[in-house]
Structure 1
Amino acid sequence: MSELLDTPADSPARSLAELRLRIQRLHRERGEPSLRALSKQVLKAVSHTTVRAVLRCQTLPRWEHLQAVVSALNGDVDEFRLLWVAVRDAENPVAMPAEEIAIPRKLMENQDRSASSNGAPSSRPASSEAIKTSAGARSAPPPEDGARRSLWASAGEPLVGHEDAVVNLAFSPDGSSLASAGADGAVLLWNLTAEESTAKRIAQHAGPVWGIAFSPDGKVLASASSDSTLRLWELSTGNPIADAGESDAQPVVHLEGIWAVAFSPDGKLFATASDDRTAMVWNAQTGGTACVKFSGHTEGVLCLAFSPNGAILATGGDDSSVRLWDIETGRAASKPLSGREETRWSVAFSPEGRTLASRLEETDKEDCPTTTGHKDAVVSIAFSSDGQLLATAGLDGAIWVWRPAVLWHPPTGELVGFPILGHTDAVVDLAFSPDDRILASGSADGTVRLSDPLTGELLFPPLAGHSDAVVGVTFSGDGEILASCSEDATIRLWDPTTGRTLCEPLRGHTGPVGKVVFGPDGSILASCSDDGSVRLWQSRDAVTRIAELEREVEELSGKYLQALEEIERLKAQLRR
C-alpha cells in the first residue's frame, strides 16, 4: 500500500502498483496455489515461470498471460482488463500506429549499424580490463561489418498447421525432418528435404503435448501428452508402432498426464514420467510392452533421465525427491536423494555418468536444509560437455556453477560452487558453448550474458536488444553462433567470440517465441511461437547476399531509367 501513497495518482508506476496489488490479493484469496498448479490450470501453454512473472507484476505482463492466470484463479477478467488497459495507456499516453513506429525503429537500427562501421571488431573476447570498464553498459557491441558477417533470413513462409501455441521442437538426427508439438494436442512432422516443407499430422492427443523425442537412430518419434498417453511413430511410414501380437497400435497409457519421455542411449527402451506417481520403462520396438514399473514417489513424477550407459534411470518428483532405479533388476539403485522440500522439474546425468543434478522449484520452507545457493526456484540446468561443470539458473536472477558437478555426494554431502551475479530478473535458460569456454544465460531482464564458467567473469557487456524476457539461448553445433529468443516475438543471433550481433533481428512471429533449435549442420534454425507457427531461418554468406542486392539494384536502375524516359516524353507532349 505504501508504494501507492508514494506515487502520483496519474503515474504509470501508480497504475502498475494497483494492478500488482490486485493480482496478488486475488492469489491470496484463492489460497495461494503453487506456480505449478496454476500453470496446469491455464488453458494455454503458460509455464510456471510466466505465471510467476505475472504474479510479481514488476512490469506490465502480456494481456493473454494475465488473462490466463486470472481465469485460473477464477477472477473477474473484465476487471483486470480495465486495470491492464489503464497501465498500458499510462505508459504509452500517445499510441502510434504500428506502421508509424516501424519507420523510426528501422532508422535507429540503420544508425546503429552506420556508427559501428568505423570500429575494428576483435576476433577474441575482450580483456578483463575492458570488461571491467564497460560492465555497466546496457547494450551489446554493434553488428560486425565486412565479408565475414553472417547473414540470416527467413527460409520461406511460416509453417502453419497448429491451432494453438507451438510449445516444443525437435530436429531428427540427420536434419531431414522437424517435429513440432502444440498446446492443441497435435504433433506435426515436417519434411525439410522437399522443395517446399510439407507437414504430416502424425498424432492428435486430447491435451497439450509437452514432450517430443526422436530415437537416437532417427527412426522413431515419441510424443507425450497431458491426456495421459504417449505414442510412438515409425517415421519411414508415419504409422504408429503396434504392440507385439496386436493388429492396431495402442498408446502407452498412464493413469494421469505424462510430463516427460526419454529414449535410452541405444534406443531400445524408452521411459515415461507421470502424474500418477510412477515411472515406466517400455520396449521401444513394440511401443506398448512394459518392461518395468517404478513406484516409490509419493507425488507425481515430473522428469527423468537415462544414465549415459543406459543402466540407471533417474526420476524427479513433486514429492521433492530424486530417485535412482536399476533398469535390469527393476529395483531402487539407492536411497532417495532428498534435500529441501521442493518440486524437481528435471534431472540430468553428466556425460560420463558419474554425477547427477536436478532442477528445482523451491518452497517457502526456510527451515529445510538447502542443496543449492539459489534463493528462489531453479528453472534451468546445463552440464558442460565433459561433465566437470554444472550450471544452474534461478528465478532469483543468479547463476551458480558447481565444481565438481556433484549436487549430492552421499558420504559427505559436500557442495562446491560459486555464484555469477548480474542479471536483474529471473534467469530463464542456460547453455554451454560446445568447447565449454562460454556460459550463455538468458533472463527476464531482456538481456543475454556471456560468462567464463571457470571464473564467473563477464566476457562482454550484457547483450541487449530484446525488449522483453529472453526465454531461450542455444549454440550452433560449431559454437560460432548463439541464438536467443524472446517474448518480444524476435530472435537474435550473436557472435559469442565478440559479443556482436551477426544480423538484424529475425522478425516474422506475431507472438512470443518460446524455443529455437539449430539443425545438425547449423545452417538451419527453427523457431516456434505462441502464434501457432513454426519458422525456419537460413544462413546466407555475404557473397550470395551481395549478388542478390546487385540484382535488385539492377532491376531498380532499369525502372529508374524507364521512368526518366517517360518523364521526358510527357514533357515533350506538354511543349507541343
Structure 2
Amino acid sequence: MAELEGPKAIVQLLHDATTKWQLRQTLEGHSHYVWSVAFSPDSTVLASGSSDKTVRLWDVATGQLRQTLEGHSHYVLSVAFSPDSTVLASGSANKTVRLWDVATGQLRQTLEGHSHYVLSVAFSPDSTVLASGSADETVRLWDVATGQLRQTLEGHSDYVRSVAFSPDSTVLASGSADKTVRLWDVATGRQTLEGHSHYVLSVAFSPDSTVLASGSSDKTVRLWDVATGQLRQTLEGHSDNVRSVAFSPDSTVLASGSADKTVRLWDVATGQLRQTLEGHSDNVRSVAFSPDSTVLASGSYDKTVRLWNVAMDGEV
C-alpha cells in the first residue's frame, strides 16, 4: 500500500441560476479508466477503482487523496463499502476480490474462486455477506468475517455484470450480458426479469426496496416492481450504453451514467428526465449518491471522478 500526495482538485462551480445540480470538483490522479465509485456510509470518503490497478480513497469535503490501495495485478472493476463502514471490497480482472480494512488501508483477505473477471461486488445490508458477480457467469456469496465461500448462484448464460442487495435484505439482484435480470430469494426461489434487448450492465434497488432499476446496452433504463417483477417504466434518452444506475437516498431520483459521456437524472415517480449533466470527455462508467444526499459522484474512462452538488426539490 502506498500513500500519495493529494492530486490537483479543480473546482468548477457553475453559476447558471437555472442549474439544479452543480459540478463541485474534478478528482484527478488515476492514470487510466475509472471503472467504479462508491461512498462510505458516513459520506466522508469516496472510493474509486481503476484500470491502473489501484483503489483510491478521497476526502469528499476537500477532494484530497487520502490513500492509494495497491495489490491487485489487474484492473479494479468494482468497489463497495460495507454498511458498517469497516470493510472495503474491490473486485478485479485478476479474478479475485480483496477486502480492505477501511481504518488502516491494510489488506484483510483475498477471496479466490472465480474463474474469470470479477465485475461487481455488493455487501448485504447487515455487512455479513459479500456478493460478487463474474464473467464466469456466476454469483458467489462470501462470509465477510471468515472469507469462506457460502454459496455459488448459477443460471445466467453470460457475464454477470452487476449485483445488488435490496435494502430490506430479502432479495439479491444480478444483471447479465444474457439480457436478463435475476432476483434471488431464499424463501421463494428465483425470478427472471426479461425485456432488455441487449446486455444488462447495472442493477440497483431503490432505498425503500420497492423498485429495481436496470441499465442496458440497449440504451434504456428499466424500472421494475420488486414485489411482482412487472415492468413499471422504460426510460429512454441516452444515445449509447447505460453503464451504471443509482437511486437517491430518498428514492425519488435515479441517476444513469452512459457511454454517451453524460449522466441523466430521472424522476422515479413519473419517469421524466430532470436534468442531463455534461462535462466528462469519455464513457461514464459509474455513478453513486452519497448517503447524506448532498453529492453525486461519477467515474469515467476520462480518468477522472466528478463530484456534483445535489439540489433536491429544484433548489440550487
Shift of 1:431: 1.3
Equivalent AA in structure 1 for residue 34 of structure 2: V
Match for residue 68 of structure 2 among 193, 196, 202: 202
Task: Label 1:542 to 1:150 Cα distance change in 2 as closer, same or farther (>3 A).
Answer: farther
Task: Output one character per residue of 1:226-276: Cα deviation in whole Å (capped at 9) or x when no partner.
Answer: 7xxxxxxxxxxxxxxxxxxxxxxxxxxxxxx562123699x99943224xx
**Counterpart in the other structure of 1:26:** none
Query: Is the 2:83–2:125 contact (alpha carbons within 8 Å) kept by the matching residues of 1?
Result: no
**Counterpart in the other structure of 2:237:** 465
Shift of 1:218: 4.9
**Counterpart in the other structure of 2:217:** 444
**Counterpart in the other structure of 2:110:** 272
Max Rg structure: 1
**Counterpart in the other structure of 1:532:** 303
Between the aligned partners of 1:375 and 1:502, the Cα distance in structure 2 is 35
Query: Is the 2:163–2:173 contact (alpha carbons within 8 Å) kept by the matching residues of 1?
Result: yes
Equivalent AA in structure 1 for residue 186 of structure 2: A
Between the aligned partners of 2:249 and 2:90, the Cα distance in structure 1 is 25
Q: Larger deviation: 307-316 or 480-489?
A: 307-316
Task: Label 1:514 to 1:348 Cα distance change in 2 as closer, same or farther (>3 A).
Answer: farther
Shift of 1:358: 4.9
Q: Secondary structure at the match of 1:435?
A: coil
Q: Secondary structure at the match of 2:302?
A: coil
Task: Label 1:445 to 1:416 Cα distance change in 2 as closer, same or farther (>3 A).
Answer: same
Query: Is the 1:273–1:304 contact (alpha carbons within 8 Å) kept by the matching residues of 2?
Result: no
**Counterpart in the other structure of 2:260:** 488
In structure 2, runs of 5+ residues without a counterpart are 1-17, 144-149
Trace 1:12-51 onto structure 2 (pairs within 5 A). Answer: none
Query: Is the 1:304–1:348 contact (alpha carbons within 8 Å) kept by the matching residues of 2?
Result: no
Match for residue 381 of structure 1 among 139, 163, 174: 163
1:422 aligns with 2:195: yes
Query: Is the 1:261–1:304 contact (alpha carbons within 8 Å) kept by the matching residues of 2?
Result: no
Shift of 1:432: 1.4
**Counterpart in the other structure of 1:262:** 99
**Counterpart in the other structure of 2:20:** 151
Between the aligned partners of 2:71 and 2:165, the Cα distance in structure 1 is 32
Q: RMSD in angstroms over aligned alpha carbons? A: 4.0
Between the aligned partners of 1:389 and 1:425, the Cα distance in structure 2 is 23
Q: Secondary structure at the match of 1:155?
A: strand
Task: Label 1:436 to 1:540 Cα distance change in 2 as closer, same or farther (>3 A).
Answer: closer
Between the aligned partners of 2:299 and 2:229, the Cα distance in structure 1 is 31
1:182 aligns with 2:20: no
Q: Secondary structure at the match of 1:502?
A: strand
Between the aligned partners of 1:455 and 1:467, the Cα distance in structure 2 is 30
Between the aligned partners of 2:128 and 2:88, the Cα distance in structure 1 is 22
Trace 1:106-117 onto structure 2 (pairs within 5 A). Answer: none
Equivalent AA in structure 2 for residue 272 of structure 1: T
Q: Secondary structure at the match of 1:459?
A: strand
Q: Secondary structure at the match of 2:310?
A: strand
Task: Label 1:301 to 1:519 Cα distance change in 2 as closer, same or farther (>3 A).
Answer: closer
Between the aligned partners of 1:420 and 1:429, the Cα distance in structure 2 is 14
Equivalent AA in structure 2 for residue 425 of structure 1: H
Task: Label 1:444 to 1:182 Cα distance change in 2 as closer, same or farther (>3 A).
Answer: same
Query: Is the 1:263–1:306 contact (alpha carbons within 8 Å) kept by the matching residues of 2?
Result: no
Between the aligned partners of 1:305 and 1:159, the Cα distance in structure 2 is 24
Between the aligned partners of 1:216 and 1:438, the Cα distance in structure 2 is 20
Please, what TM-score do these two structures have when normalized by structure 1?
A: 0.43
Equivalent AA in structure 1 for residue 20 of structure 2: L
Task: Label 1:386 to 1:543 Cα distance change in 2 as closer, same or farther (>3 A).
Answer: closer
Between the aligned partners of 2:286 and 2:69, the Cα distance in structure 1 is 21
Between the aligned partners of 2:87 and 2:172, the Cα distance in structure 1 is 30
Equivalent AA in structure 1 for residue 238 of structure 2: H
1:405 aligns with 2:186: yes
Query: Is the 1:316–1:347 contact (alpha carbons within 8 Å) kept by the matching residues of 2?
Result: no
Shift of 1:454: 1.9
In structure 1, runs of 5+ residues without a counterpart are 1-148, 227-256, 278-296, 319-341, 350-355, 360-370, 407-414, 546-576
Task: Label 1:162 to 1:443 Cα distance change in 2 as closer, same or farther (>3 A).
Answer: same
Between the aligned partners of 1:183 and 1:301, the Cα distance in structure 2 is 13
**Counterpart in the other structure of 1:516:** 287
More helix by share: 1
Between the aligned partners of 1:315 and 1:168, the Cα distance in structure 2 is 14
Trace 1:220-235 onto structure 2 (pairs within 5 A). Answer: none
**Counterpart in the other structure of 2:30:** 162
1:474 aligns with 2:246: yes
**Counterpart in the other structure of 1:35:** none
Shift of 1:209: 4.9
Shift of 1:493: 0.8
Shift of 1:424: 1.2
Shift of 1:393: 2.5
Shift of 1:472: 0.9
Equivalent AA in structure 2 for residue 392 of structure 1: S
Between the aligned partners of 1:225 and 1:425, the Cα distance in structure 2 is 24
Query: Is the 1:262–1:304 contact (alpha carbons within 8 Å) kept by the matching residues of 2?
Result: no
Shift of 1:203: 4.3
Task: Output one character per residue of 1:400-443: Cα deviation in whole Å (capped at 9) or x when no partner.
Answer: 334x436xxxxxxxx74443322111112111111121111111
Task: Output one character per residue of 1:137-172: Cα deviation in whole Å (capped at 9) or x when no partner.
Answer: xxxxxxxxxxxx99212114x222222111222323
Task: Output one character per residue of 1:452-483: Cα deviation in whole Å (capped at 9) or x when no partner.
Answer: 122232223x2111111111111112212111
Task: Label 1:436 to 1:183 Cα distance change in 2 as closer, same or farther (>3 A).
Answer: same
Task: Label 1:474 to 1:384 Cα distance change in 2 as closer, same or farther (>3 A).
Answer: same
Query: Is the 2:295–2:310 contact (alpha carbons within 8 Å) kept by the matching residues of 1?
Result: yes
Equivalent AA in structure 2 for residue 517 of structure 1: A
**Counterpart in the other structure of 1:192:** 60
Task: Label 1:496 to 1:358 Cα distance change in 2 as closer, same or farther (>3 A).
Answer: farther
Which structure has more relative contact order (CA 8 Å, sep 6+)? It is: 2
Between the aligned partners of 1:201 and 1:434, the Cα distance in structure 2 is 29
**Counterpart in the other structure of 1:501:** 273
Between the aligned partners of 1:479 and 1:174, the Cα distance in structure 2 is 18
Percent of aligned positions that are identical:
38
Between the aligned partners of 1:201 and 1:272, the Cα distance in structure 2 is 19
